[in-house]
Chain A
Amino acid sequence: MRHMVSVLVENKFGVLARISTLFAARGFNIDSLTVSETEDSAISRMIIVVKGDCSILEQVTKQLNKLVDVIKVNDFNGAGCIERGVALIKINVTRSSRTEIIKLVGVFRARVIDISQDSMIVEITGDEDKINAFMKVVMPYGIKETCRTGFVALGGGHLAGTK
């Protein structure tokens, strides 16, 4: 099962290393990770996506909480959080497939950001399912390269006190 864990940490050097060392040492696999400063420059937010059963998530959460530089850990799993990731996808195009692909881009509310004779780069923003779905439909045209970000996430309006 996929879990999205939000971690508020002290914005100090070495904190990312502490977190990644913890994951490596305990044998937890990180699927994706984003780190950025919050509105308070002394605090960073990390969004860590891990896969595993609930007991793994429980250990991950507790181990994160145990780190001295970790202020708050939230499990966003299925709790109405808003998540967004970005993917850049370079797709093979031919004269005949170009229009078709542009139509698909429109359906997914993605954007074409680069275009050449035989390829096209599409930027798509959304949650993991949406990005995966788009990748799946353009797969038959031939994907040359992709680059995806980790996810950013916030608890929705009703999820008070996530900070």
Chain B
Amino acid sequence: MLELSGAKILIESLLKEKVEVVFGLPGGQALPIFDAIYGSTLNFILTRHEQAASHMADGYSRSTGKPGVFIVTSGPGATNIVTGLGTAYMDSVPIVAITGQVATSVIGQDAFQEVDTIGITRPVTKHNFLVKDVKDLAKTIKESFYIATTGRPGPVLIDIPIDVQRAVHEFVYPKEVEIRSYKPNNSGHPVQVKKAVDIINNSERPVLYVGTGVVISNAESEIFEVSKKADIPVTNTLLSIGVYPCDSDLSLGMLGMHGTFCANKAVQAADVIIAIGARFDDRCTCKVCDFAKTAKIIHIDIDPTAISKVVDVDIPVVGDAKTVLKEMSVLIEKKERKNWSKLINKWKTEQPLSYDRNDNNLHPQYVIEKISELTKGEAIIVTEVGQHQMWSAQYYKAKRPRLFLSSGGLGTMGFGYPAAIGAKFGNPDKEVIVIAGDGSFQMNMQEMAVAVLNDVSVKVVILNNQYLGNVRQWQEMFYGKRYSHSCLAKRKKCPQWCNTPDRNRCPVYVPDFVKWAESYGTLGIRVTDKKDVIPAIKKMIETKNSVVVDVWIEKEENVFPMVPTGSSLDDVITRISG
């Protein structure tokens, strides 16, 4: 009989789950766990902030499809991961989070570094457990991995008090999981599938609206097959970039607030919308009551709560995207829809994504186009959140799913850099490039130590406009150009309010990202001229180690097209008038 401490049971269980890498940061109430890691074969990566650990696990998971794992201590360790859990929860990323907790004997006494971790994390996890008895530990870990990775995936947290980490019990890792109250359903109901297919077969202007669920269930080839067979155009969300080949005639590009003109037009003109693994997020639907008014809506999703939550659905199909698509593709008729294709092509050519390509000024879209070309869309691109994220979504042509990682639902600034480090741990042979804004990057840039010390090469391209650019754009468009606290260069000596930024007159920007990169012993490159963009990107790709490229872009460049909040998808703005 193998008797182990709770801490050792945890480590052995993680090894049984074939966990390749664990991120985290130690602390008082997790010391027995860290002692058990010492000398074990577990690959543990020490981060500089607990939040970053949670994003690294997230980026590892999004890029590999495997669950991400991290371990932090109680109290502030646990509160620091809330953002990471919320980010993963909104975007359905499987994560198993371990937190230390004060001893069971003092829980509730406001002990040092005690917080109600279970209470705090309940709304941002798929499920969480407080393990009060070491005999339940192995079973709880097994269940956590099962819950995190099945159904609609999500983060699961296990809170382990220090006395449970120390207590000794026989270690048997369960082979099977049986949770009577948790039985995710994968295959669609045949009657519903049949109804959906009948509607599709009789439709003239169908649109496939594919979301993250398609990435999660690896259903890209099934989507391709259905769309080709029945000649149905495909629009994607921010999180499903790469699921459908963007050079295909049937690809509409991204839908929604900053989506393409043709995707938004097509959705509004469609007679059937087939939503798969998408949740009708408000950034996609814009004004809900005007969304696809003429269309019947078929919604395929593994999560029943996603169905008819935002938009009333005509034909709901609860099931896994891949399984249901396979069931459907047999029944779907081969068909050509020439009039529909013609209309879509018209919209495509009428208003393609565009910026002033001949201008000599340094436009951010140009930088992303060049990254896309020079990496052939094969690199893993991780974005932060803001204008650069939308430009990346518009101009990076990802070849496959899981090559474009971004915080969609929660919109977490500071996600990108640590998530990219996590992605590199999962894909050591792939080029991993962060496209960041100067604002977002400053939220977790301390993690460069992790990249450098572990010989993990992550390339960072900062699209530096010295602003919280998205906030500034909204202030320009909807708040009378009152740039309240969106300028990151503003100093005490600046006029109190200023909306006439000029790089030559503005104070020196801090930090100097090049010097900052050099202080970690890595290469920093500054680009202030359009002609230096291509050489800098080439140099960045050639360099084996981490690189930071600080690109000084047009300060007041805006993201277009845009559907303002409260407007319908028909009301696309393509530039600021007058």
List residues of chain A with CB under 8 Å of any chain B CB: 9-10, 14, 17-18, 21, 25, 55, 58-59, 62-63, 65-71
Contacts and interface: CB of A to CB of B under 8 A. Distances in A.
A9 B182 CA distance: 11
B379 to A, nearest CB: 36
Interface in B275-332: 303-305, 307-309, 312
Q: Which 7 A-B pairs have the closest CB atoms?
A: A62-B305, A68-B127, A71-B181, A62-B304, A68-B182, A25-B123, A63-B305
Contact of B308 (A10, A18, A55, A71): A55
Contacts of B312: 55
Interface string B37-63: 000000000000000000000000000
B126 interface: yes
A18 B122 contact: yes
Contact of B180 (A55, A62, A65, A71): A71
Contacts of A70: 181
B8 to A, nearest CB: 26
Given A18-B122, A68-B127, 18 more contacts: A9-B181, A14-B118, A17-B119, A17-B122, A21-B122, A55-B312, A58-B308, A59-B308, A62-B304, A62-B305, A65-B304, A66-B303, A66-B304, A66-B305, A68-B181, A68-B182, A69-B181, A71-B181
Contacts of B122: 17-18, 21
A59 B309 contact: yes
A63 B304 CA distance: 8
A102 B123 CA distance: 50
A14 B126 contact: no
Contacts of A68: 126-127, 147, 179, 181-182
A146 B304 CA distance: 40
Contacts of B118: 14
A10 B181 contact: yes
A132 to B, nearest CB: 32
Nearest to B307: A62
Interface of B: 118-119, 122-123, 126-127, 130, 147, 179-182, 303-305, 307-309, 312
Nearest to B127: A68
Contacts of A18: 122
A98 B126 CA distance: 57
A153 to B, nearest CB: 21
A134 B535 CA distance: 85
A122 B438 CA distance: 69
B312 to A, nearest CB: 8
Contact of B123 (A21, A55, A62): A21
B153 to A, nearest CB: 13
Contacts of B182: 68
A59 B147 CA distance: 21
Contacts of B304: 62, 65-66
Contacts of A55: 308, 312
B145 to A, nearest CB: 13
A63 B123 CA distance: 12
A14 B308 contact: no
Contacts of B147: 68
A68 B125 CA distance: 11
Nearest to B180: A71
Nearest to B181: A71
A66 B309 CA distance: 14
Interface centre among B123, B180, B181, B309 (most CB of A within 10 A): B181
A36 B179 CA distance: 22
A18 B127 CA distance: 9
A55 B309 CA distance: 8
Contacts of A9: 181
Nearest to A22: B123
A67 B312 CA distance: 23
Nearest to A71: B181
A134 to B, nearest CB: 39
Contacts of A66: 303-305
Contacts of B309: 59
A65 B318 CA distance: 14
A51 B162 CA distance: 44
Nearest to A72: B181
Nearest to A25: B123
A71 B119 CA distance: 21
Contacts of A69: 181
18 contacts: A9-B181, A10-B181, A14-B118, A14-B130, A17-B119, A18-B122, A25-B123, A59-B305, A59-B308, A62-B304, A62-B305, A62-B307, A63-B305, A65-B304, A68-B179, A68-B181, A70-B181, A71-B181
Nearest to B156: A68
